[in-house]
Structure 1
Amino acid sequence: MTPGPLKPAVLALPFTSEALAGRLQEGLAEVDALLRREVDHDDPFIAEANSHLIEAGGKRFRPLLTLLAAEVGSGINPDVVAAAAGVELTHVASLCHDDVMDEATVRRGAPSANAKYGNSTAILVGDMLFGTASSIIADLGAEAVKIQAETFVRLCSGQIRDDRPTPAGEDPVDYYLRILADKTGVLIATAARYGAMFAGCDAPTVEILREFGERLGMAFQLADDLIDVASDAEESGKTPGTDLREGKATLPVLYALASTDPADATLRELLRSDLREDETRLGQALELLRANPAMDRAREHTSAVAKQAQDALAPLPDTDAKAALLALATSVVTRVG
């Protein structure tokens, strides 16, 4: 596999010092180089398929968080870089599986793995990437392996429950937020946890960064849910309305469905219908939902979760790293892709 240009589109960190920004960029370059080495393969087709979504770019949000969390401790080192790469590969592997489940056609502005290679290959590539991630983490010690395994179990359990209706007697919003903590929050929590661990932070600081990461991850996914409704494919690099097409009740949908306003009757009817094969009705649902107060309510909740993440950092001393983590929480909820 011939290396191409570095493509990570790092989220803006307006309060990051020039020195810290330089260290993060150098660290991300090291992570990117490690990713390329690890996904390479003697079989050219497997090498291409393994690297497809990595070459497509992405924000490298999780490895960035690992590197930034390390700056709370002694800073970026080879173990931190390896942990960051392991987390990113776990994430990319999950994307391969998610896109098969969602029948998505676009990911990171490029054809999804399932659209390019078919469902069977996309699933197997995801499995290979999970295996590669586990191999990297195994070199970091037994505790890291245990964390990776626990993270993977929670990630999968969240994804399974996300694919099923809310159980009878459960509050749909509370149930959905618990799903997000597992489906997205846990891996981002692990990204921050690894950074602190491998930069020598004490146990209380590691726990602060883990809690921050989980809240940040929930805010990240809630923002993604809003992007799925509010942005177009060119802005977000994803197919708009994917969640609606698949009948997934994300936070703005849940708020809209709970509305008793007669003016929302058409939207509620559309949201309860099968939109998978009806692009016209899907477009109508998107248009109505974009203009509905449910979107503002969901945005407010997303901002509140990001604020909870920021509040978790209160015990840490004021440093460039802490300022950047606070800024990252803001960037998560103001992005468009």
Structure 2
Amino acid sequence: MQPTVRDHALADGLRAGQAAVEEGLLRATKSDVPFITETARELTRTAGRRLRPLLVLLAARFGDPGAPGVVPAAVVVELTHLATHYHDDVRDEAAVRRDAPRPDANWDNTVAVLTGDFLFARASHILADLGPEAVRIQAQAFRRQVTGQILETTGPRDGRDPVEHHLDVLASRTGSLTAVSGQLGALASGADPRVADALARYGERLGVASHLADEVATPTARRPTLPVLLLARDADPADPSAPSNPADPSNPSAPSNPADPSNPADPSNRELYELLTGPAGQAGHAEAVARLRTHPVLDGAREETARQADAARAALSALPDCPARDALESLCETVAAPTAPSSCG
């Protein structure tokens, strides 16, 4: 996912910054043990589009983009992102992630987990040079990530709407690191603290929107996805765990399409849900996946994606008008586009 950048000076600056980040990642993933270097660089070569370093570089445009801590901050957030991928892929037990083999497809789970730990350690080492405030911000984000992973594993508590729970999990697991990207970029560049706060709100909502866009593009997975959860709600609209009030516009995590208990359950939705959540090899599963890709619940998931992107855009109203803000706004438009996945890596 790349922004639309019409300002030539900004475009040149971003290209130079991104090249410096790539060099920093190569240095950070080098070990005296060649095997560790190989494992640490596996996802560096295959993972996503560097959204989080990009947010650091754009955030730095509200201060001094050439400040010495900007590129290291971008390296830190990407190392952290990659480390969580190593751990997540082991937890998911999936053979492929975003069209690339998962780490332990080549090595066993122990090596994959320890490689993630190595990347966390390298990120912490670089982070220490950015000062105690940067360490505090990163630590808070990491706490939220772990909390989100635990909540995802345990599932919603009794009486909690699974859709609302899912959005909260995404805010913690994904939104926290995109939020910290803006914060660290602003901090490293010496930008006003109010800029950092606005970018944190923006980043969290953009991170959630990006993840939801991927869920729309790939609506079935080992983990819950919004389309499958909305399908479950449609299959049983009288579920007492579903919220009865419209979404609160002041709370971006609140679901925007609560169930209507007056609508009867659709037996075909129940059948489809049971097929999708059953074993992947069972009869009818492949057909169920194909049916979901054209199911009306995807419209509801797209609406939620757009709502999260709109909340991200609204956070930018506190920032001065400049090419960097325009680029950040264009990311909101990109992630909410109904025709393309966000590839939020």
Q: Which residue number corresponds to residue 204 of structure 2?
A: 214
From 127, 138, 141, give the equivalent of 2:117. 127
Q: 1:16 to 1:156 in 2, by over 3 A?
A: farther
Please name the residue that 1:53 is paired with. Answer: 43
- SS of the aligned residue for 1:314 comes to helix
Q: Where do 1:267-278 residues align within 5 Å?
A: 267-271=272-276, 273-276=277-280, 278=281
Q: Is the 8 A contact 2:232 2:270 kept in 1?
A: no
Q: Counterpart of 1:23?
A: 13
1:280, CA displacement in angstroms?
A: 4.9
Change in 2 beyond 3 A, CA 1:44/1:294:
same
Take 1:269 and 1:48, find their aligned partners in 2: how far apart are those partners?
41
Instruction: Report SS of the residue matched to 2:218.
Output: helix
Q: Distance in 2 between matches of 1:266 and 1:76?
A: 57
Alignment of 1:1-337 (within 5 A): 11-229=1-219, 241=220, 243=221, 246=222, 248-259=223-234, 260-271=265-276, 273-276=277-280, 278=281, 280-334=283-337, 335-336=340-341, 337=343
What TM-score, normalized by structure 2, do the two folds share? 0.86
Q: State the identity %.
A: 43
Report the Cα distance in structure 2 between the residues aligned to 1:134 and 1:159, rounded to whole angstroms. 20
Counterpart contact for 2:134–2:187, Cα < 8 Å: no
TM-score (norm 1): 0.88
Q: Which runs of 5+ in 1 are unaligned?
A: 1-10, 230-240
- The two structures, once aligned, show a CA RMSD in angstroms of 1.6
- List alignment gaps of at least 5 residues for structure 2: 235-264
Deviation string, structure 1 residues 193-223 (Cα, Å, up to 9, x no partner): 1111111111211101111111111111111
Match of 2:241 in 1: none
Runs of 4+ in 1 over 6 A off after TM superposition: none
**For the Cα contact (< 8 Å) 2:5–2:11, is it kept in 1?**
no
CA shift, 1:279, in A, is 6.1
Cα distance in 2 for partners of 1:228, 1:280 equals 20
Between the aligned partners of 1:142 and 1:12, the Cα distance in structure 2 is 31
Q: Is the 8 A contact 1:16 1:321 kept in 2?
A: no
Aligned pair in 2 of structure 1 residues 280, 82: CA closer, same or farther (>3 Å)?
Answer: farther
Q: Deviations over 1:31-56 (max 9, x none)?
A: 11011011101111111011111022
Secondary structure of the residue aligned to 1:117 is coil
Secondary structure of the equivalent of 1:288?
helix
AA aligned opposite 2:318: P
